[in-house]
Structure 1
Amino acid sequence: MDKTPFLFHYHFWTPYLEETEEFYRQQGFEVTQRIGKLDGTFQSFNPPLTWDDFRHQNILFRIIECQKGKVNVTLGYGKKVVFDHLGFYVSEDEKVGICQRAEMFKWKVESNDRRTFISTPYQFRIELQTHEDAIYDMESDFHLLRVGLSSNKEDMITKLKELLGVDALPIDMTVKEKMRLESVEFCGTSLGKTDPNGLFLK
């Protein structure tokens, strides 16, 4: 895991925020951040606050972050479950090359000091992260091995390999009409559980 790019992150929108947070907490993840809008203002509701402290307030959560080892899982409120993006940790040089290739593909690139997002034609985005402090525990052996995606775009894997400049991707694709994140697999553990959003943790 000393090489980049490596997959470290996935994000989705869900109406099942409290249930999903509790599910990941039971798998050994630590809730490190909760940001939501209350009375028109974004505020922090981070631990040690618990859901009992704010459950009955009308908070629109933008992000809840759960971390363990080299894995970062984030979620925000949505009326239905929607997969948003995968995150890859890359070097600065790799980021430049990836963004150049994205622009050649005419894919939208949005970048700031903390992260870069690339909009793919596959109904999800790719996040590029270069800051080591975005990884919860860089020394940990716990990391994402693979994810399973469904898509009706059969060129997806080939094009993403070209984008990232790699010969292999930690992504398995099943051809289906609807795009969704179907499964994730972590190193060194076998969970065999499904989270509240229908995502299977192998």
Structure 2
Amino acid sequence: MLFHYHFWTPHVEETEKFYVNQGFRISLRNGKYNGEFQTFNPPLAWDDFRDKEIKFRIIEARKGAVNITFGYGKKVIFDHIGFLVSPAEYQQICKNAEDLNWKIDGGERRTFIATPYGFRVELQTHGDAIDGTVEEAELKELLLTVKKPEMKRDLNDLFGRDVPLTAVVGDTVTVNEAVMTGMKVTSIHDPNGVMIAIKSESPSA
């Protein structure tokens, strides 16, 4: 299940405020202050630390089955997308990555696969990476800009199925559009240029 994307951005506070306004909760703030990494998690608010010149490594926003993270960068850079998979799916996807000669960086909590398309793929097997269910909020599809048109084919080969990603070819690798359910507005851009497009679920007959 597609559940996640991550950006580096100079608009850290603005990005947090944007997603909070869409009903997300902030579950984590970790940043470097006085040479050490520290947490500034809620109930702390920005008024408590705005003047401390913290360089945030990661801020995590959650809603339903969606998890979005971002950290400080001098310019907006798209880093990776994430899929929540079963242990069996994880093993097969890693084998497929080896067949594609893509580098696998395994970790205790998550694994990253480096693609040749300017972004990484995170594999997550822990259900606690999300707060709730797809009925509350779900990341249905991402529209990416990539530099080579083979991305969709290769990502389908990686996962062994059709993945909810589409792509256009351009000069800057990024997420153009994130299609979600459970948001408060019909369409709006986040501070990093991602269009949040709302997909309404049809009621069951």
Which TM-score tier does this pair reach, normalised by the shorter chain?
Answer: over 0.9
1:68 aligns with 2:63: yes
Q: Secondary structure at the match of 1:18?
A: helix
SS at match of 2:31: strand
Identical counterparts, % of pairs: 49
Q: Of 7, 13, 17, which residue of structure 1 is paired with 2:12?
A: 17
Question: TM (normalized to structure 1)?
Answer: 0.93
- For the residues of structure 1 that align with 2:147 and 2:56, how far apart are their CA atoms? 31
> Which residue of structure 1 lines up, in the alignment, with residue 173 of structure 2?
179
Alignment-derived partner of residue 200 in structure 1: 195
Aligned mate of 1:41, from 36, 49, 58: 36
Counting matched residue pairs gives 196
Change (3 A) 1:45 1:111: same
Q: Which residue of 2 aligns with 1:156?
A: 151
Structure 1 residues 184-193 or 62-71, which shifts more?
184-193
Name the CA distance, whole Å, in 1 between partners of 2:19 and 2:186.
11
Q: TM-score, normalization: structure 2?
A: 0.92
Note the C-alpha offset of 1:139: 6.3
Q: Which amino acid aligns with 1:171?
A: L
- State the distance in 2 between where 1:18 and 1:141 align: 25
Aligned to 2:203: none
CA–CA distance in 1 between the matches of 2:192 and 2:134?
30
Matched, 1:55 2:50: yes
Question: Given residue 157 of structure 2, which amino acid in structure 1 is its aligned partner?
Answer: E
Quote the Cα distance in structure 2 between the aligned partners of 1:179 and 1:54.
Answer: 32
Unaligned runs of 5+ in 1: 1-5
